[in-house]
Amino acid sequence: MEGGKKVTDTEATERCYFNGLHEYLPEDVRDKIVIKVVETKTAKLVDKCKELTAYDAQYRIPWIVFDRDRVVNFDKIIKEAENNVIQVGWSNPCFEIWLFAYYGNMPNIKESFK
């Protein structure tokens, strides 16, 4: 994601995850990736990403990232992002589960944390 910018619908927990992951990237990569965590409704992520990238032309590969948890109009949000040349990342069902899997300690979770 060189030159990328991420916009997410996060609250405090995910903000810490993304900032922490960013700090662990190799310095030459870290300097090329900007993570902008904004708190907005999931349905508004594409608009917020467009607004932020309109003011910062150096962000060549914008992304939105959000939890999949019971998102209304999930497919519509992805299509809208694609139509605006915005990459999309989402977790299923939530970001915390991805971290469990990544670090090899995957519990059996039947419901979302939210």
User: How do residues 47-59 score in pLDDT, each as one tens digit?
Assistant: 999 998 888 766 6
Q: Where are the domains of the chain?
A: 4-102
pLDDT digits (tens, 9 = 90+) for 33-42: 888 888 888 8
Residue 96: both structure tokens together: 């915390």
Residue 4's beta-bridge partner residues? 61
- With contact defined as beta carbons under 8 Å apart, do 74 and 98 qualify? no
Q: Is the pLDDT of residue 46 over 90?
A: yes
